[in-house]
Structure 1
Amino acid sequence: MNSILEKNIKALASGVNEPLALKLQNYKKSQRFVLNNKFNIYDKNFETFIYDNDFISEELNCSFDNFLAQTKHYPFICFYGIANALLIKNLTPYYKRIFVFESEIELLHLALSILDLSEELSSGKIHLLDITEEKVNIQFLILFDMKGVFEYLNLFELFPINSYYKKFHNETYQQTLNFALANITLLIRNLHYKLDVLFLVYDNILCNIPTMLENIPFQRLIAQRKNAFDTAIVVSAGPSLTKQLPLLKKYQNKVFIFCADGALNILLKEDIKPDYVTNLDYDDLTLKFYKEQDDRILNILAIGTNHNVAKKISNKIIILRDDPFYKNLGLNDFGYIDTGTHVSHFSYTLALALGFKNIIMIGQDLAYDEKGNSHSESFALGIDYESTANIQKIKCLAYGGEGEVLTHIAWNDYRIKLEYLFACNKEVNFYNATEGGARINFTKEVSFKNACETLLHKEKPKFENLKPLTKNRSAKLIAKFFEKLKQDKQTCENLLNDAKALKEALNNILSKDIILPLEFLQNVYQNISTFNEILNNSAFLEDSIGKALIFNRGFNTSKVLKMHLNDEREHLYQLILAYKEFLTFFIQNLKTKYEIIQKYHYQTN
């Protein structure tokens, strides 16, 4: 292995792209591609050079100019094909990030043997995506959801790096483009989540934190029960659940049962007592699931759970989400976990946090059954609760890998997020014993009977009841929280005042019926850049609301970048207009967040 390739592989293995590093390290060359002394590559299969053999420098220079012109001011650019990597290396000073999709491992091997890209790979300036990698979908979602990338998703284009890829790899290019656009759409859909819902969740959070601090700390659960048993069952309320209940009842003393709130009354009706019930719904509709309660059941609630539900439920733990916003609260005993966006996801992450090595899934259909039902019999909201929902229906691969089933776009998003979760926890065995619904990748499809007979042999242990903090300790933490809320109120006020002052200044500038000189516009935009830095570095904006606001900023900026304006004065003028539009949106929504804080602020006085 030459020293350049070794450095590049080491950079990939440092955590940026370990699967590709291992693949390159173990790769045995097929000799399909041959490198000549001009750094050109000959493809024996198609009997052609990747670049024109006589004019490689001219072609590279022309491509360099064309790509810069097509993506002027873009923060990132995406290529299909690595070629010899010379063009990519030359373009790195002009973009914050370059994403390269490639299907030929030998071309990646050759390119990384020619050029030292180790610094760019280590820093994240260049990202290589092997589109034949099993987990490329997961890698894509991670990379394009990064800070500095997600707000510009509307700029996504996938450029074949040269005519060789257009001519000889067009089918794979189209498949890659479709794959990328599907994931971009998913990310944008999540970022476009209705702000009114996010505000309801935020209101629940502020109301629930004092309740959380008066109940059992999550870390006490972890300390007492982590790694105490190997196997768990996660029960969801899909239409296939009914047929699994007799076997679940038979084995319930030999396995820990994690139950989505919607399946609770279904299990209790069959005299099955789950060990943990999870809930994260922001509205109080889920109160119907808790008509019957049992103190032997431990209720695990997300911090954004509806506050009326949280107050009514007994024997509970409320958990902070695993993201920077909540960690800034400094309430470590009560966090942290990735609750996801649907309740079964929460059950899986809870089981992972408790150290279970085998997780059996039942009722996880994520699809309608053959009768068009969305949920199991005895589901409190009705077996056809989502059957008439006004949401786009689509088809996906069925459980077992044969044929298709009808699902809807939200369920399909949930499925992709579950696949992401399972792929990131490869040391755990996920057994999909749903025996129906949609196929979920990164799981082992088995019959529920086989899973029970193979894995469930010994009685599960019993634990002593967990206790909350002392009243004195709880009171101190509540006081600490309200002090942090006071600080957040001040931060919110400062951001609002700065945003209003900047918007007023932009209004005054843009209202003038004169042609504004370039130097003046540059100074104005420098003020915008200064405010952007404040937003980018604000921990207060690291929650879901903040992310939605920042996405709106990028959305407005992207509309201007897509104009491809060559006149710098006009380009800056349009950017300032777009930023004023963003500020209107920002101020309106930040004011709503401020009003929610203000509602609870009286308790700090």
Structure 2
Amino acid sequence: MKFTQEQKDMFRKNIDAIQVKSFKDKICAIKKPNLYKVVLGKDPLDINFVDLRDNKKIYKNPIKDLEDMLKKYDVEYRYYKVLTFYGFGNGLLFKGLLQNPNLAHILVFEREIEILFLAFHFVDFSKELKENKIIISFSKEATYNSLLPLYNHKSLFYFYSRTYFMDITTVYYEKFEEEILYLNRLVSTAIKNSILMNGNDPYDALQGISQYVLNLKDKLTNSNFKDFLRLRKNTSKTAIIVSTGPSLIKQLPLLKQYRDKVVIFCADSAYPILYKYAIKPDYVSMLERTEITAEFFNHDFGDFDEDIVFLPYTIVHPNAYKYLNKYNRKYISIDKLLSFQLYMNLTKYGYIDYTISVAHLNFIVAYMLGNENIIFIGQDLAYADNGNSHPDEYQNSATYESSLYTPFDIEAYGGNKLVKTHTIWKSFKDSLETLTSSLCNKIKIYNATEGGARIEHTIEKPFKECCEELLKEDIQRPFVKIPLPSKKQEDELMLKAYFRVYLSAKHCEKEEKNMNERLSILSEKLQKYKNADNLKEFEKDMEDEINNIDKLRQFMLDDKEFFDIYELLQPLANQLMLHLAKCYTLPVRDENERLAKMYLIFKENVLFADYFRGAVKEQKNTLLRDIKVLEEELLKRGFEKRLLKIKARSENIINKDGGGALKIMFNFLLKRLFNKKKDGLI
């Protein structure tokens, strides 16, 4: 059809409102629609499109379909802040839905650019597009990395992620079921990983804090990460990262052949396998907190360990350190960029973030050491054809993860078939792709696994070709030794660490007491409201208390006084907010339902306060229990009087000036800790 000047002006207005240039260019590239045509009725709302490939209309009856959908959403989803749809259609549904002041954003996936091209000629979406009230994603190009920013922890999409569902605009779009399921998986993965990144389990955080404190003595009597980076930087141009996917074994003969020409990083689980094949790695990393992971180090390999540097996170299971010490291995602990470890202010031991698997940790360390080429082998992130999750030589059996998760298909290495993966491996792959995408313009990243899943932003190349092209000269070994701290330095660091742990325990004790007093009042009110015949008389009081708890939660999250407790508080607050979002979206049909909804929200807020009280109590007990390992070492070194002074000083800080002194201290710490150049943070 020929468009009128008015329709052309409408199209240009909509196009100018689109903020993504590549998307704008795609729509503008259409000169004449070939797949769809427009059918207009007398009513301005009667806009339909016909698919010329099968001659089917998008709407059976555009006006009635619109009325039915608006009625459905007004009843069931009136309090939703965000909605997700597949299929743009004529777009009038979204104009109608956005008349609801509660609705802030609509995400729409559309596969056919021609549909958008046509719709933009007949309806003015410019205001909604400019204000991101309507967010359009071209479904054929939607990826995990393109969706993840939408679900950042400050967005409404994240906050209301537990109310997520994807609806189709009309039955016409049912024929794209396969793509809809794929997009659902993408969005669900983005949501899941966003929640994981923002913390979802305070007791997981507490386990990390506990193991960190238990490992402090071992950490502080060994070399530090900053010296390691300074002295080992640029000792090689190429690094190989060895993981334990089921394809690993086929690459080991070549790895052994080229071992003298490359620096080898390996996962903790690959370490016993490399020993079996007489291939000595240079670095062995560990990050998982579980006891079973520590057993990879429970071997006496004798002289094989000479010149290997082990790189465990400080939060790994204490048995890992027990075995490292038992077999006289050289190791350097690395802190993770978590609030309690930042609060401890042991900056010489360095911080690394964005490491959800040991391969991520090895990759980041290899990059920090100046390697220009990084090669992955054994990084399958998928099951073998026979269903094995690991090589036959894997310590915990080749089928260790074969039946733990529900498998699903993803694109294979090489891009010419599909392989089976599971949700954890998929999240590893997604986050690894985020890392590689940020660095692939700075270094060359090769996936020489020759199996498993495709990893975007890596160069897929056979391992033999990588070795022949990149590994031509021997590496100069042994590498420079990393100095150990002096006895005086050890003493100073351990006393400093003891003070910070004890101070946090006292801080938790103070907050527990404050929350006990507050909860006593809230519990009485909760019971009174529950037994009330008419909640209306308590409406104002409930509203005030909900606001008070919300202000308290925000204060705890934002105020530096709570920096040492933040690691436990944040996942609790995160879960509360995600759960409250579900409460906020409950439909309300009358006054009684409105008041019942308010009571439910109040009750959930009181529960949060109770959970927080329990969390700080647990952190207090954990710190006082686990600091005994460091305390016993300091007592052996003759610091009994210093320890008494530290305890008295901590009590004085908490009791005399409380939050004021803590805030000054934490503000000072943050200024130092986030000066990345000075402290070597990444």
TM-score bin, normalised by smaller chain: 0.7 to 0.9
Aligned to 1:143: 150
Partner residue in 1 for 2:553: 535
Q: How far 1:318 sits from its partner (Å)?
A: 2.4
- Work out the CA distance in 2 between the residues paired with 1:375 and 1:538: 44
Q: Which SS does the other structure have where 1:453 is aligned? A: helix
Aligned length: 584
Q: Does 1:78 align with 2:84?
A: yes
1: CA distance, partners of 2:243 / 2:259 = 15
Q: Answer whether contact 1:556 1:582 (CA < 8 A) is retained.
A: no
Q: CA deviation at 1:281?
A: 2.0
- Aligned counterparts of 2:438 and 2:177: Cα–Cα separation in 1: 27
After TM superposition, give the deviation of residue 25 of structure 1 in Å: 5.1
Alignment of 1:515-594 (within 5 A): 515-517=534-536, 520-539=538-557, 545-554=568-577, 556-561=579-584, 563-577=586-600, 579-580=602-603, 583-584=606-607, 587-588=610-611, 591-592=614-615, 594=617
Q: Please tell me whether the aligned partners of residues 41 and 84 of structure 1 are also in contact (alpha carbons under 8 angstroms).
A: no
> Are positions 1:465 and 2:481 aligned together?
yes
Query: Residues 543, 214 of structure 1: CA spacing in aligned structure 2 closer, same or farther, 3 A cutoff?
Result: farther
Q: Higher Cα Rg: structure 1 or 2?
A: 2
Q: Does 1:504 align with 2:523?
A: yes
**271, 292, 296: which one pairs with 1:289?**
296
| Structure 1 Cα separation of the partners of residues 342 and 114 of structure 2 | 44
Change in Cα spacing, 1:391 to 1:199, as seen in structure 2 (3 Å) is farther
Q: Which one of 376, 379, 392 corresponds to residue 406 of structure 2?
A: 392
Q: Using a 3 Å threshold, how does the CA distance of structure 1 residues 586 and 361 change in structure 2: closer, same or farther?
A: farther
Does the CA-based 8 Å contact 1:320-1:326 persist in structure 2?
Answer: yes
- In the alignment, structure 1 residue 452 sits paired with structure 2 residue 467: yes
The amino acid across from 1:526 in the alignment is D
Contact 2:109 2:136 in 1 (8 A): yes
Contact map agreement 1:199 1:593 (CA 8 A) in 2: no
Superimposed CA distance per residue, residues 375-429 of structure 1 (whole angstroms, 9 cap, x where no aligned partner): 2243333344344x54434455444445554544433443344334434444244
Matched position secondary structure for 1:594:
helix
**Which string of whole-angstrom CA distances, capped at 9 and with x for unpartnered residues, describes residues 309-345 of structure 1?**
1354243232233356654554444443235333223
Deviation at 1:272, TM superposition (A): 1.8
Q: Deviations over 1:251-290 (max 9, x none)?
A: 1222221100010121123332212211012123234322
- Write the mapping of 1:74-223 to structure 2, written as runs, cut at 5 A: 74-81=80-87, 87=95, 90=98, 94-95=102-103, 97-105=105-113, 115-116=126-127, 120-121=131-132, 127-133=135-141, 136-147=143-154, 149-160=157-168, 165-166=169-170, 168-172=172-176, 175-176=179-180, 178-181=182-185, 183-184=187-188, 187-188=191-192, 191=196, 196-209=203-216, 211-223=218-230
Q: Report if aligned partners of 2:338, 2:567 keep a CA contact under 8 Å in 1.
A: no
Cα deviation code 1:39-86 (max 9, x no counterpart): 99886865999999998xx99899777645443333323244555697
Q: TM-score, normalised by structure 2?
A: 0.71
Report the CA distance shift for 1:319/1:115 in structure 2 as closer, same or farther (over 3 A): same
Deviation of residue 458 (structure 1)?
3.2
Structure 1 residues 593, 316: closer, same or farther in 2, change over 3 A? Answer: farther
Superposed CA RMSD in Å reads 4.4
Counterpart residue identity of residue 131, structure 1: S
Retained in 1: the 8 A contact 2:286–2:358?
Answer: yes
1:409 and 1:512, CA in 2 relative to 1: closer, same or farther beyond 3 A? same
1:380 aligns with 2:410: no
> CA–CA distance in 2 between the matches of 1:51 and 1:494?
62
- Per-residue CA deviation, residues 91-139 of structure 1 (Å, 9 max, x unaligned), is 5953454434333456668859962568635xxx7654332325x2223
1:430 counterpart SS class: strand
- 1:305 to partner: Cα distance: 0.8
One-letter code aligned to 2:246: P
- Distance of aligned partners of 1:209 and 1:484 in 2 relative to their CA distance in 1, 3 Å threshold: farther
Q: How far does the alpha carbon of each residue in 1:201-257 deviate from its partner, in whole angstroms, 9 at most, with x for none?
A: 332133335644444333344444556644221101223212211110111222221
**In 1: Cα distance, 2:439 partner to 2:176 partner:** 29
SS of 1:525's equivalent in the other structure is helix
Moved more, 233-242 or 464-473: 464-473
Q: Distance in 2 between matches of 1:247 and 1:422?
A: 25
AA partner of residue 171 (structure 1)? K
Give the distance between the partners of 1:577 and 1:491, measured in 2 at CA: 29
Whole-angstrom CA distance in 2 between matches of 1:384 and 1:59: 51
Q: 1:415 aligns with which of 429, 446, 452?
A: 429
Contact kept in structure 1, 2:516 and 2:613, CA below 8 Å: no
Q: In the superposition, relative to structure 1, how do residues 89 and 34 fare at CA in structure 2: closer, same or farther (>3 Å)?
A: farther
Match of 1:489 in 2: 508
Taking every aligned residue pair, what percent have the same amino acid on both sides?
A: 27
Give the secondary-structure state (helix, strand or coil) at the position aligned to 2:270.
helix
Aligned pairs for 1:61-72 (under 5 A) are 67=73, 69-72=75-78
Q: Equivalent of 1:474, from 493, 509, 520? A: 493
2:481 alignment partner AA: N
Contact 1:239 1:375 in 2 (8 A): yes
Displacement of 1:360 in angstroms is: 1.5
2:320 corresponds to which letter in structure 1? Answer: V
Deviation digits for residues 138-188 of structure 1, max 9, x if unmatched? Answer: 23234225245445322112344xxxx525544347623552256426744
Partner-residue secondary structure (3-state), 2:366? helix
Distance 1:319 1:572 in 2: 51
- Counterpart CA distance in 1 for 2:552 and 2:256 is 56
Counterpart CA distance in 2 for 1:390 and 1:53 is: 48
Residues 327 and 201 (structure 1), Cα distance of their counterparts in 2 relative to 1, 3 Å cut: closer
| Amino acid in the other structure paired with 1:392 | T
1:519-560 CA deviation, whole Å, 9 max, x = no partner?
Answer: 632431332233123324534599675454235424543554
Q: In structure 2, how many angstroms separate the alpha carbons of the residues matched to 1:446 and 1:299?
A: 29
Q: Provide Cα deviations, 1:431-476, integer angstroms capped at 9, x if missing partner.
A: 2222233344443332211221122223345542233564366347
Tell me the TM-score normalised to structure 1 length.
0.79
* Gap regions ≥5 residues in structure 1: 13-19
State the AA in 2 paired with 1:549. L
SS in structure 1 at match of 2:131: helix
Whether the 8 Å contact between 2:519 and 2:609 is mirrored in structure 1 is: no
Say if 1:30 and 1:106, in contact at 8 Å, map to a contact too: no
Task: Tell me, yes or no, if the aligned pair for 1:560 and 1:571 is still in contact at 8 Å.
Answer: no
**Take 2:270 and 2:98, find their aligned partners in 1: how far apart are those partners?**
57
Tell me: CA distance 1:99–1:88, structure 2 relative to 1, closer, same or farther (3 Å). Answer: farther
Greater alpha carbon shift after TM alignment, 483-492 vs 412-421: 483-492
What pairs up with 1:428-443 in 2 under 5 angstroms? Answer: 428-443=443-458
Deviates more, 1:254-263 or 1:588-597: 588-597
For 1:15, the equivalent position in structure 2 comes to none
Distance verdict in 2 for CA 1:253–1:95, change over 3 Å: farther
Could you say if the C-alpha distance between residues 39 and 402 of structure 1 is closer, same or farther in structure 2, counting changes exceeding 3 Å? same
